[in-house]
């Protein structure tokens, strides 16, 4: 996964996730990605220190978003789920 600065500079942010799709940030700066990590599918959490772990497991997850009620909405290829996670998403600028 690459990160692009506002000036257009590209750098590798994290290597090791497979098939990254949907993503969202929490208010602490953690990145959540619908992807696979070490062969496990689900939501991968990547900290600002670039440490990754599986946050939520499940097959066919393609998207996610945080709600104002501190929930995560997770979409698969054929369903949408709401999960109570008590995490605030990062507001858009």
* Domain locations along the chain: 17-84
**CA distances (Å), 2 to each of 5, 10, 55, in order?**
10, 7, 21
Residue keyed to tokens 């942010």: 13
Write the burial class of residue 92 (CB in 10 Å: 0-12 exposed, 13-18 middle, 19+ buried). Answer: exposed
- Separation CA 93–CA 85 (nearest Å): 23
Q: What is the pLDDT of residue 92?
A: 73
Q: Which CATH architecture has domain 17-84?
A: Beta Barrel (2.40)
- Separation CA 50–CA 65 (nearest Å): 20
Q: What is the pLDDT of residue 35?
A: 95
For the chain (length 93 residues), average pLDDT per consecutive 10?
92 92 94 95 96 94 95 96 95 74
């Amino acid at each position: 996964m690459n990160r692009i600065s506002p000036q257009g500079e590209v750098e590798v942010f994290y290597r090791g996730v497979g098939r990254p799709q949907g993503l969202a940030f929490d208010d602490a700066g953690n990145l959540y990605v619908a992807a696979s990590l070490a062969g496990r599918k689900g939501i991968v959490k990547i900290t600002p220190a670039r440490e990754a772990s599986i946050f939520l497991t499940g097959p066919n997850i393609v998207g996610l978003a945080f709600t104002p009620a501190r929930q995560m909405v997770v979409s698969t290829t054929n369903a949408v789920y709401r999960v109570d996670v008590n995490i605030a998403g990062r507001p858009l600028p």
